[in-house]
Each structure stands twice: as structure tokens, then as C-alpha cells.
Amino acid sequence: MQIRPEDQIVLDHVAARRDDLIERAVGWANINSGSRNADGLDRVLTALEQTVKHLPCTVERVATASSSRIEDDGTEVPLGFAPALQLTLRPEAPIQIVLTGHYDTVFDADSPFRTVGTREDGALHGPGIADMKGGISVMLGALEAFEQHTDKARVGWTVLLSPDEEIGSPGSAPLLAELGARGHLGLTYEPSLPDGSLAGARKGSGNFHIVVRGRSAHAGRAYHEGVNAMAGAARLATALDDLNGQREGVTVNVARISGGAPLNVVADTAVVRFNVRVPDPDAADWILAQIQDLVSRPPIPGATVELHGGFTRPPKPMDAAQTELFEAVRQAGELLNQTLRWQPSGGVCEGNNLHAAGLPNIDTLGVIGGAIHSDQEYAWPDSFVARAQLSALILCKVASGEIDALHLKQLRLQSR
């Protein structure tokens, strides 16, 4: 693998637009787009549409699926989500690349962490600058440059920018599954790890809610006529926590018990909310069986339980396709004097969904930064060009056949 003259034209295109790559990401990050901030999401979506209007692709807002939420009183209420933004170019090309990202952040509309600044050490500091409005700019920068390549006709691409990744992609999951099934190679733009490493194997993740229903009664006059749902929830929470350590790599995090009643009332409703992480599909089957066993037996006499939720992100192991893809990306990085490493991660992202749909993918191609999901989030300005050039070169090598996307896809399907 080497950098050819036609590749260098693409790389130079990226380098010449350094300031644009950074400035547009800063502008997007200065607009709050928490996952439930409908107005902010729409403003960012509109800004993104303006940014891509010069690209020769189809641009459309795509409806996302509906979902539901379990309230503290145990009721299930429907939820809708903002649309995704989909860009499509050359869908008839023999090789199809799927590029994904998200334009929502973890910061609510009333968050005081609202604008991007520059730290004394030169790092950009702001909400979503790394996770992942910087990543979106890198992605688009790579695509803008790739359109200068002489072999671009061999490669079609589809971009999906979703509004709900930070809450598990409940609305965009069907779109990710569809694209993953028909694409050959996936590129996703979560930030790299702080040292620039890429995420390799990823655990799977599931979010669950157990509704415990009891019977209300006066805590003084008729305590024994009641069935205390909070007490039942506490016992379930302890039993769930006891599952930790029983199978390697499986963790259960009991995050919250909600519901309850005034101090002089026996609580008739409580909800146990918890997350599980698993290293592989067998472990997912095991923990699901343990959970189902627990809810099959009332935690206290007279109580009933209902299980809601499930796995939102399947595990993403380092199978043969992933291993070969990472090696190809490492070689591309070497050509750019970028030393690329990868390490396993307990975190999850859209790459999990794409992999489960049969798409080999690299999912940490965004900017180099850190402290994401906190008010210390940062990104290094120089990484915008470096990462956009890496993605652009990957696209060039797919177009030339030096990275064999069709072979990688077949290898992935064989391992399912």
C-alpha cells in the first residue's frame, strides 16, 4: 500500500480546509442538541443541511421509529424522536460504504455547559466538540475530499446522522440495521480514545426496567394488609447485583429504584432500572436467562413483576473481518505517519448495531479528545485534519481495491 498521486490530491484537499473543519464543528457544538431538545436538534439538523448542500448527493430527513419509556409509576408511555439525516451518493456503485454518526449530545437543554472555548494548552473545550460534532466534520471533510479522486465511481456512500445515539438509538436502530445489511464497509465517527487509540472489541449493552407492583396500605394501622413494592424492588436489586462475578466479562449495574410512597403509606409501585454489559452473544443469553429467572418469582409474597427493555447494542467482538479491517486501517495510518493502536472497550455505539447487521466497521474515526459526557469534554484541533485524512485515505484505498471491502463483508457474514 502506498500513497498514489490521485490519493495525494485528496489528502491535500483535506489539509487546505483545516480551519473550515474546525470552525463548523465549533458552530454546531455551540447549539445545544441534547437528545430530548427538539428545538436544538432541529437547529443543528438545519445547519448540517446547509453544510452539505454543495455535495452532489441526495439529502433527506428520514423518519425514525417510535419507542416507549417506563415512568416512575410503572406506566409505559410512547416516545418519538427527531428525524435522521441521510446523504446518499452513487447507490448503484459496486462497493457501498456506510458512514454513521449522531448529532445529539448528552447535555440537556438547560445545561450550563453551552459553548466552545480554547484551553490554555490549545485544546477545544465544549459540549459535543469531540462526541461527536467534531467527528461529523471529519466525516464530511473526508467525503468532500474523496469526491476529487479519480476512482470515486467505484464507491457509493450513505451517511446516516442520527438524533438519539446518546440514549441507545431506540429510534434509529432500524435504519442502522438496514444500512448495515446492505453495505460492505462501515465507518463511524465516535472520538478516539484520549491517546488516539481506536476501540477494538466492544461489549454489548442492555437497558432493563422491572416494574414491581404491590398493594397500598396505611403504614401504621394496616401495614400487614399491604404489599411493599419498594421492599420487593430492593430485594430484586440485591439479587441482580449478586450476578456480578458469576460470569467473566458480565456486569450488572443497578442504576436506580424509583417509585415509592409517603412515609406513612406502604408503596404499591416501584421500578428497578439497570444496565448489563456482556462480551459475547453467549454471555448475553446467559444474563437474560438469569434476569428472566429472577422475575419469574415474586420478590415478596403478593407482589407481581413486569420486565421491560432488552439489549440495545449487541456485542462487537474482534472477529476475522474486524481483525483484517483493523490491519488495513493501521497500514493506511502508517502512510500518514499515524501510529494506530486499538484496545477493547466496555463502551457501546452505533458500530455495535452495524456489526450485528453484518457490516465490518471501524467506529472511532472521529477527533482525538476526551472527558466526553462531562463538562470537561475536549478535542485537539490538529486531529481534525489528521483524522479526516485517515478516513479519506481509507476511502481511496477501498476505491483502488487495496482495501477489499467486498471480501471483508463476505468474511463478516461467514462468522455470523
* Per-residue pLDDT, 347: 86
* Per-residue pLDDT, 21: 98
* Per-residue pLDDT, 346: 83
* Per-residue pLDDT, 383: 98
The CB density around residue 189, as the number of other CB atoms within 10 Å, is 32
pTM across the whole model: 0.92
Which of the four CATH numbers 1.10.10.60, 3.30.70.360, 1.20.1440.230, 3.40.50.150 does domain 204-313 have? 3.30.70.360
Name residue, grid cell 457474514.
413
Which residues of the chain are in CATH 3.30.70.360 domains?
Answer: 204-313
DSSP string, 260-326: ---TTEE--EEEEEEEEEESSHHHHHHHHHHHHHHHTS-SSTT-EEEEEEEEEE--B---HHHHHHH
* Per-residue pLDDT, 345: 87
- Taking CB atoms within 8 Å and a gap of at least 24, the contacts of 34-37 are 34/104, 34/105, 34/106, 34/107, 34/108, 34/109, 34/111, 35/104, 35/105, 35/106, 35/163, 35/164, 35/166, 35/167, 36/108, 36/109, 36/167, 37/108, 37/109
* Per-residue pLDDT, 152: 98
**Phi then psi dihedrals of residue 215, to 5 deg:** -140, 130
Superfamily of domain covering 5-202+315-414? Zn peptidases (3.40.630.10)
Q: What residues act catalytically?
A: 104, 165
Q: Hey, what's the cell of 339?
A: 501510529
Which residues of the chain are in CATH 3.40.630.10 domains?
Answer: 5-202+315-414
pLDDT tens-digit profile, the chain (416 residues): 899 999 999 999 999 999 999 999 999 999 999 999 999 999 999 999 999 999 999 999 999 999 999 999 999 999 999 999 999 999 999 999 999 999 999 999 999 999 999 999 999 999 999 999 999 999 999 999 999 999 999 999 999 999 999 999 999 999 999 999 999 999 999 999 999 999 999 999 999 999 999 999 999 999 999 999 999 999 999 999 999 999 999 999 999 999 999 999 999 999 999 999 999 999 999 999 999 999 999 999 999 999 999 999 999 999 999 999 999 999 999 999 999 999 998 889 999 999 999 999 999 999 999 999 999 999 999 999 999 999 999 999 999 999 999 999 999 999 87
Please answer whether residues 80 and 68 qualify as being in contact, where contact means their C-beta atoms are separated by less than 8 angstroms: no
* Per-residue pLDDT, 140: 98
What residues contact 16, with CB distance under 8 A and at least 6 apart? none
